Amino acid sequence: MTAISPLRAGTSRGLSLIELMVALALGLLVAVGIVNVFLVTSQSSLVQTQLAKLQEEGRFAMTALTTDLRMTNAQYCNNMGGQSSTLSNGVMSLDRYLRAPQVLVSGATLQSALHDDTTIWASTSGSNTYPASPTAAFAMPPFLSLRGYDCTVSTCTPGDPSTSGDTSPLPAQGTEVGKRVLGSSVITLRYLDGSRGWALDGNHSTMNLSGRTVTSFTIAPQTGEPPLTDYTAGDLAMLSDCNASQIFAVTASGATFTPAASNYASVTQPSGVMPRLFDFNRDFVTVSYYLQVVDDNNGHTTGALMKRVNGVSAEVVRGVERLDFLYGVMDASGNTSYQTAAQIDSATSCASSTVTVTGTDPGCLWRSVQDIEVHILMDGQVAQYGLASTDLQYQYYGDSAVTGLAAPDNSARAVMPSQQGFDNHMLRREFSALVAVRNYNP
């Protein structure tokens, strides 16, 4: 009798324990490989996304900065006009009132109409390098058109920009949210917004004269011009044409503006074309750029580039940790050198001097700045703890003691992220630009 096999009888044979363990081990190895490939790909994608974001936001920050820096010292259609005269050193210089507005009020009155102004007139005891408050008509000093401040983690030179006379001064340096980022520079520039003001065309708004002396202005705003309600009692006025400008106090009665008796001199009829009257406090724009500590909503802080216009600050872009400037100036021989804010501010003798003072012209090099070199350091705003330490290395212009790429916590850096309260595990990149001051008028 033939025996029947169990398999032939319809029974099945299962996997042995050894076979099952081998299969599980092989499956686990495959799964680990897939996970590793996913993690590496995900990390790489995240890094590439952050680098692209860094590039985009760095360009945006530079565009905002360079656009305003080019406007430094712009006036109303008279940026390059005027007759030249020979100085004692043989350099041809434009008449001072054709290169800077003539001020008919005291230095203190002028200063009260400006924003972010840390420059003060010297007292009779000579408390600083600037001249005493003038007691006669004077040309607006160059340090009121442009002034920079270089800061370390502990101090700023040539002064502290947080000591502004404004009711809302710039923040002091610190690591808390809302403070100014430690070790970041500040720049303040001014220009006249020529798109505002009232055109004195003689048909609508008029300039009333006695000889060549202006006795009053009758303002009838036309389409596109500011309403009279924009003017605030006590604001200074600015009369400009394509030759020169005058800044003076006025009293307002309805649509009539009358030069005040407190002015040092009479307001005179402009000699150029297209005269226009401006509200100096509003239309002579003060722009300051600085960095402020903000919460990145990921448990860390970062820096934000802030733009402050006539005392009101607004955030431009986040992820900016460092901000530095160098100023290019031309000497009497035509040679250009790049100097710090402290070096520019301490100069008292320049080929392009315009302000009449005894012997020296403090801060005169600010008008000789023909271009500005800008450096910013951007971070990725999201900590990358999975990256190797070498991937976090970067270089920055301000760290002159560091050669090449270096770690964030390199003690040779002028400013380390940890000193600013920022996480070291960030991707960081430097951006720089050279901006020509198009209203440069030596």
- 160-188: per-residue pLDDT in tens? 999 877 778 899 999 999 999 999 999 99
**Distance from the Cα of residue 246 to its chain's centroid:** 27
| Angle of CA points 279, 280, 285, to nearest 5° | 115
Do 151 and 340 touch, CB atoms closer than 8 A? no
pTM, 2 dp: 0.85
In this structure, the dihedral spanned by the alpha carbons of residues 115, 230, 284 and 317, taken in order and rounded to 10 degrees, is 60
- 382-416: per-residue pLDDT in tens? 888 888 889 899 999 999 999 899 999 999 999 99
Distance CA 366, CA 32 (A): 64
Do 367 and 145 touch, CB atoms closer than 8 A? yes
Which token pair is 427?
Answer: 């991707």
For 420, phi then psi, to 5°, come to -90, -5
Average pLDDT taken over every residue of the chain = 84
- 340-361: per-residue pLDDT in tens? 999 998 887 776 544 444 456 7
| pLDDT band for position 331 (cuts 50, 70, 90) | confident
**Distance from the Cα of residue 372 to its chain's centroid:** 11
Do 291 and 305 touch, CB atoms closer than 8 A? yes
Give the number of other CB atoms < 10 A from CB of residue 232. Answer: 10
